[in-house]
């Protein structure tokens, strides 16, 4: 494979990754996240990252074989492709950062909801005798003397 073909494949993979990150952002921006859909998006993202790594390894091998390095100043075509890759990678980094913030917000919201529910579960409830009963975990038997 020629260097321009490898760089083209990297660009195609990055464009696909951008679409996937956009889907992920849309899902994480929704009020109610669909876990099954988010899981599929994550699998697609991991697949694209593997493809990208494969082509980047090919690029590195060609760099060594041809004794060239990015940004490929000797070739206007390769230089233009590398510039597109660099720009797209920066854009994807921003997408990924925003998605991370959205994911953390969902996780924090879930933790707050769980803490609230656990607190309610530990609160005493009035039993048939009018006394409060703690419905939390009991460590042993309760004796009356």
The pLDDT of residue 127 is 66
Q: How confident is the model at residue 119 (pLDDT cuts 50, 70, 90)?
A: confident
Q: What is the pTM of this model?
A: 0.78
In a domain, 132, yes or no: no
Domain count for the chain, please give it.
Answer: 1
Backbone angles phi, psi at 67, to 5 degrees: 55, 50
Check pLDDT > 90 for residue 124: no
Q: Nearest-CA neighbor of 14 among 59, 54, 40, 49?
A: 49
Average pLDDT, the chain: 90
* Residue 111 forms part of a structural domain: yes
Tell me the per-residue pLDDT of 39-93, one tens digit each, with 9 for 90 and over.
999 999 999 999 999 999 999 999 999 999 999 999 999 999 999 999 999 999 9
The answer for residues whose C-beta is within 8 angstroms of residue 92's C-beta and 6 or more apart is 14, 17, 18, 21
pLDDT digits (tens, 9 = 90+) for 81-106: 999 999 999 999 999 999 999 999 98
Q: Of 134, 108, 132, 109, whose CA–CA distance to 121 is shortest?
A: 134
pLDDT score recorded for residue 141: 57
Q: Which domain holds residue 58?
A: 3-115
Residue 138 lies in a domain: no
Residue 125 lies in a domain: no
128 within domain boundaries: no
């Amino acid at each position: 494979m020629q260097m321009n073909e490898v760089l083209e494949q990297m660009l195609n993979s990055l464009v696909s990754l951008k679409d996937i990150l956009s889907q992920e952002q849309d899902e994480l921006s929704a009020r109610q996240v669909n876990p099954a859909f988010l899981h599929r998006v994550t699998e697609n993202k991991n697949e694209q990252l593997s493809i990208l790594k494969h082509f980047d390894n090919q690029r590195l091998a060609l760099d060594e074989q041809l004794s060239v390095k990015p940004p490929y100043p000797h070739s206007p075509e390769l230089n233009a492709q590398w510039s597109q890759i660099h720009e797209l990678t920066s854009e994807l980094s921003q997408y990924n950062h925003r998605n991370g913030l959205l994911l953390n917000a969902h996780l924090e919201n879930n933790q707050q909801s769980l803490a609230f529910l656990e607190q309610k579960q530990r609160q005493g409830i009035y039993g048939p005798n009018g006394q409060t009963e703690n419905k939390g975990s009991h460590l042993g038997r309760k004796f009356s003397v």
